[in-house]
Amino acid sequence: MKRFFGWWMAVCVVLAGCCGCGRQGLPVPEFPLEAGVVEAALERAGLPWTIAAEESWAEGQTVYTLHDPEGRMVAIVSSTGEPQGRMLRLSFLPSENDPYGVSVSLPAQDWEKAVIFATVLYGGFESGREVYDAFLATRNEKSAAVQQGEPPSGARKTYEAVTEWKSEIRGTGCAVRIGQPRADAPESDLLLILFCPADQ
């Protein structure tokens, strides 16, 4: 019986080791990001957006404008590589009415997909859901108010308040910024997702 128990324990240890070896996190793409990487991450996150424009504002940086299926701008993806260091900034548009109909804010039901999209784009996390799950679990305790800039003369503030959730996950500084609506606004807006090395 002791021999069988010892043999069974050895098998369990080997199997546990094999399972651990097979577990791989998200790959880390080369930064600044190429269009193909952005498109693959959109598909993986289940977002029907397309790249409408690609720009390079500085050496080592790429900027992509993303549009929804109706051709309206939804987000801007900015990524930098060396020498500045790896950084990903995903900016969204506010829910204020656009009189020209060229942009649209991100519906709350797509926030999860947007965070997964950013997580896959940055890479190095255990899974595409790791950051979103941490955000949900610690949003109240790790969020703080962010000071808003003063609106132009005669204009009103877009948000009653802006909060930012920050956390360090696997050596990456993660931030999610949310605009809390005024009393007359329908819902909160996801404004920004930012990933960079935690020591930056």
pTM listed for this prediction: 0.82
> Got the DSSP string for 17-74?
HHHHHH--------SSPPHHHHHHHHHHHT---EEEEEE-SSTTEEEEEEE-TTS-EE
pLDDT for 15 beyond 50: no
Q: How far apart are CA 58 and CA 38, in angstroms?
A: 19
Question: Across-strand partners of 54?
Answer: 64
133-169 pLDDT tens trace: 999 999 989 999 887 666 655 555 677 888 999 999 9
In the chain, % helix, strand, coil (3-state, to 5) comes to: 30, 30, 40
60-101 pLDDT tens trace: 899 999 999 999 899 999 999 987 789 999 999 876 656 566
Mean pLDDT score of the chain = 82
At position 62, the amino acid (one-letter code) is: T
For residues 192 and 178, the answer to whether their CB atoms sit within 8 Å is no
What residue spans define the domains of the chain?
A: 29-148+157-197
